[in-house]
Structure 1
Amino acid sequence: MRRIIPSLSALQIATVPVRSLYSQLVEDHYNNPRNVGKLDKTDPNVGTGLRGAPECGDMTQMQVKVNPETMIIEDVKFKAFGCGSAIAASSYASQAIRGKTVAEALQLTNKRIAQELSLPPVKLHCSMLAQETIQAAVENYLSKNPSLKTKVHKSKTQSANAVPKSDTVSGASAL
């Protein structure tokens, strides 16, 4: 005896709500990434970092434009080739460091990015990629401006306890 199993039509399938595996913040940054683009890497005030995640093939380039007088990151641009979590992590991180000092930007950790985006453990390499790319961009900037390294070190020590916990980026803590 054959059993007939009713099936859903294409229209019914299209209207069935699907619960996303990602947080709303990840979806927002993936669908509407902030600060996508590039800066002039020959500008002495621009640092460029490029990193990849061998686990999955994700690649991210992050650029920071720093005011040498204040050491504040005035502009940030990124390009990412990878999964939605990698794009979202880079977008979130770029927004979190804009307007911060270089020392404050270096305090943004992959754990903080992952926590704010509610990334699952299997996607932690995406937040690590964002953190490492920021660090590489800052290192590149400082290699172009070696006299400013001591300024960053002093600022890093002073800002360690002064980072405001209530700064928000799209409803999440900034650093």
Structure 2
Amino acid sequence: MYSEKVMDHFTAPRNVGEIDNADGIGEVGNAKCGDIMKIYLKIEDDVIEDVKFKTFGCGAAIATSSIATEMIKGKTIDEALQLTNKAVVEALDGLPPQKIHCSVLAEEAVKAAIEDYKKKNNK
């Protein structure tokens, strides 16, 4: 049902945790399935220096959070804003149709964290 990459990111997620004094924090949730994702960004000169996440949800939600953080770390804000749920799904070698919403949450959480950063910094 799940690809090896999904299982890898679920059983050994990358970038788990919180960043104290994060420059941007994005939290999104899906009431229907109960998944909640929170992304923390540390940004310097418009580059994402560090990113962490905390996700409450199913294996696919954890895997999409994990890979999304890997995909944006070291990128500029503008590059990170280009992240799509489709790119997250492709990076995980696919998700079952009923789990695609998890990749949408990952995209939304990243964008919410960047929006939070922009608001805090009048950008």
Specify the TM-score bucket, using the shorter chain as the normaliser.
Answer: over 0.9
Pick one of 88, 93, 97 that aligns with 1:121.
97
**Aligned residue number for residue 10 of structure 2:** 30
Offset from partner CA, 1:13-68 (integer Å, 9 cap, x none): xxxxxxxx100000000000000000124x5xx1000000122000000011100x
* Greater relative contact order, per chain length (Cα 8 Å cut-off, separation 6+): 2
Structure-1 separation of matches of 2:54 and 2:75: 20
In structure 2, the residue corresponding to 1:139 is in which secondary structure? helix
**Aligned residue number for residue 5 of structure 1:** none
**Aligned residue number for residue 53 of structure 1:** 30
- 2:31 alignment partner AA: P
Flag the structure with larger Rg: 1
Gaps of 5+ in 1: 1-20, 150-175
**Aligned residue number for residue 132 of structure 1:** 108
Structure-1 separation of matches of 2:120 and 2:63: 29
Offset from partner CA, 1:132-156 (integer Å, 9 cap, x none): 000000000111101xx2xxxxxxx
**Aligned residue number for residue 64 of structure 2:** 89
Structure-2 separation of matches of 1:48 and 1:116: 23
Aligned CA-pair RMSD: 0.9
In the alignment, structure 1 residue 142 sits paired with structure 2 residue 118? yes
In structure 2, the residue corresponding to 1:99 is in which secondary structure? coil
Offset from partner CA, 1:91-143 (integer Å, 9 cap, x none): 00001100000110010100111122111111111000000000000000111
- 1:58 alignment partner AA: D
Q: Taking structure 2 as the reference length, what is the TM-score of the superposition?
A: 0.96
The percent identity for this pair of structures is 53
Gaps of 5+ in 2: none
In structure 2, the residue corresponding to 1:56 is in which secondary structure? coil
**Aligned residue number for residue 154 of structure 1:** none
Q: Taking structure 1 as the reference length, what is the TM-score of the superposition?
A: 0.68
Pick one of 67, 72, 75 that aligns with 2:50.
75
Structure-2 separation of matches of 1:57 and 1:84: 12
Structure-1 separation of matches of 2:50 and 2:12: 18
In structure 2, the residue corresponding to 1:60 is in which secondary structure? strand
